[in-house]
Structure 1
Amino acid sequence: MSSSAILVRQIPFSFDEDINPVWNPQRPEWSHMLNGASLTMPYLEPFLIKTVTEALKQVDDPQLKADVRAFIGQEGAHYKNHRRYNEILKQTCPELADVEDEMEAEYRAFQKRDLKWRLAYVAGFETMTMGITEWLVRKRASLFFGADASVSSLVLWHMVEETEHKNVAYDLYMHLYGDWRGKALGLLCGSTHVAWSSRKGYRRLLMRDGKWERISSRLRLYAMAARFLVHTSPAMFRSLLPGYHPAKVNDPEWVAQWTSAYDGLAEGCIPLLDTSDPEIPARFQT
């Protein structure tokens, strides 16, 4: 089953050098949870790219090959933008470099695993992102209202493109292996490892802010983590059902609105959303 059109957008997001790491002042714990996720991207996504590039050598289907190449293009653009943001985060919290070193070592070790395990990890992580996308887009009013426009726009652009290539890793794994148990193991490994890696980053940031030991902050953090599980678990469980395919999952309507708005954007413009509007509409600041 083929993916829909996958457009590789080379968007040069930019961030103020003095940007506040608490980019949503109403939700400091949430801000750092996403900061922690951003820190993983320059290590996770090259791992995804290397894995599917290796698997691509075994693929003869022209459409799947084209989809995989587009997947590689989108993921490459994602981690480059996240890296720019992460470099600014490290100016405020230099000890995040230690977290990055740990992630680099972990993914270097993962790269030595067999291709089937690595591709299952990739497909598993991509399954989790479907749940994350549904959550962030549908709850964008409560998660991004009043937040920094550049960070919010980076995250939601990333999520839009996750919907565009949502089939690719699944199709590639099933094309080469088609093993249900391996797919389930990949879902567990990919999801839990990325979540744990993100935790390392946001823990350091909350410690820097003096919030990690505060009961009130920890309770807000746990509440947000619970929301994450509530909104992502259905997508992960759904992927284990007989007859499942990502293409059967309907994307939030806002995703199509975003892509339509981007199509009308002048070349070279950065798609910055208006986070001062409580609805976070799919239109861009001019």
Structure 2
Amino acid sequence: MGDTNAGARGHAGAITPITVRQGAFAFAEDTPAHWIPHAPEFAQMINGASFVMPHLEPFLVATLGEAAKQIENPAVRREARDFCMQETQHYRTHRRFNDVILAQGYASLADVEAEMAQAYARLLQRPLAVRLAYAAGFEAMTLGLTEWLVGNRVKLFRGADRQVTSFILWHMVEETEHKLVAHDVYEAVSPGYWRRAFGVLHGSLDVIRWSRRCYRALLLADGRWRRPGSRLKVWWWAARFLLGAGPALLRSLVPGHDPRGMKDHPWVREWIAAHARAGERAGDRGAPMPLIDTQSAAMPVPF
């Protein structure tokens, strides 16, 4: 386990230890694929991204784990270690959630997953510097995604399944918590602006591409993909995502970019601090993670 007295990463520039939490979420067998009742297309788009994680995140773990062996700075090595442990919890939890969705008649995802497995196996054969740039680029996108999802959580998740909503936002909180790691490891092992800038486009666009392949398969199985109304809603949600995550991606393309300059969302800081106070009762060591009240008009942290 990583350090458990993390507190919050708080304000821009602050560096505190990363906490490794178990993804203690219990997904019922009848958890609906359309777990956001008012936005089934958006639910499937998030589900599509979830199907990418058990392929992407092991790649990130392998890449940063390999890079950590070349890092002399013990603080950066420790961050890389804890990053890998957090990401391992993420993809294991996504796998459990994905299995619940697959059991509901989405067998067509198996073909897409097989392609993803092959693609990430090929990517693992690329030079370490290329893989680190990919990792840093993807992690840059998650900062914008987190800001959008957390900042609009009431509009996006009001009335949604509490278990899935809490799981998704937990993942986003931890993406913020380890926001420095991929960047720091890249700079420690293979610094360079142009490779990193290409990695922003490579990592983020590749994950978007695979997410789209997955949610397209889900919506085809639903019979929604070819409905004009549903397709318009998909485009609408995709546009909102790009507007939400786009600024973070653009900032990451600026020479000299450092994620330390990006402030954490106050809700994320509050979540991390409240979890630290709650300790074991809040999901450590397998204890159930408290769930967000998706009926609330504010959706406060669940501690």
TM-score range (shorter-chain normalised) is: over 0.9
- What SS does structure 2 have at the residue aligned with 1:121? helix
Percent of residue pairs bearing the same amino acid type: 46
* Structure 1 contact 71–165 (Cα < 8 Å) conserved: yes
Query: Is 2:263 aligned against 1:244?
Result: no
Q: Name the residue aligned to 2:10.
A: none
Query: Is 2:301 aligned against 1:282?
Result: yes
Q: Which amino acid in structure 2 is aligned with residue 252 of structure 1?
A: H
Pairing 1:1-286 to 2, within 5 Å after superposition:
3-92=15-104, 93-265=106-278, 266=281, 268-284=287-303
- What SS does structure 2 have at the residue aligned with 1:281? coil
Q: Which amino acid in structure 1 is aligned with residue 255 of structure 2?
A: P
Q: Aligned-pair distance for 1:51?
A: 0.4
> What residue ranges of structure 2 are gaps of 5+ in the alignment?
1-12
Partners of 1:37 and 1:243 lie apart in 2 by 29
* Structure 1 contact 144–280 (Cα < 8 Å) conserved: no
Give the TM-score taking structure 1 as reference length: 0.96
Partners of 1:147 and 1:279 lie apart in 2 by 14
> What residue ranges of structure 1 are gaps of 5+ in the alignment?
none
- The runs of at least 4 aligned residues of structure 1 exceeding 6 Å deviation read none
* Structure 2 contact 200–253 (Cα < 8 Å) conserved: no
Partners of 2:112 and 2:208 lie apart in 1 by 14
Larger displacement relative to structure 2 (235-244 or 14-23): 235-244
- What SS does structure 1 have at the residue aligned with 2:103? helix
Q: Aligned-pair distance for 1:2?
A: 7.8
- 1:27-86 C-alpha deviation (Å, 9 max, x unpaired): 011100100000011100000000011111110101000100110110000000000000
Partners of 1:197 and 1:181 lie apart in 2 by 24
Partners of 1:38 and 1:48 lie apart in 2 by 15
Q: Aligned-pair distance for 1:176?
A: 1.6
- What SS does structure 1 have at the residue aligned with 2:35? coil
* Structure 2 contact 193–255 (Cα < 8 Å) conserved: no
Aligned residues between the structures: 284
Q: Aligned-pair distance for 1:98?
A: 1.3
Partners of 2:116 and 2:171 lie apart in 1 by 21
Q: Name the residue aligned to 2:3.
A: none
* Structure 2 contact 109–217 (Cα < 8 Å) conserved: yes
Partners of 1:37 and 1:15 lie apart in 2 by 17
Q: Which amino acid in structure 2 is aligned with residue 263 of structure 1?
A: A
Give the TM-score taking structure 2 as reference length: 0.91
Alignment RMSD: 1.3
Q: Name the residue aligned to 2:6.
A: none
Q: Which amino acid in structure 2 is aligned with residue 6 of structure 1?
A: I
- What SS does structure 2 have at the residue aligned with 1:220? helix
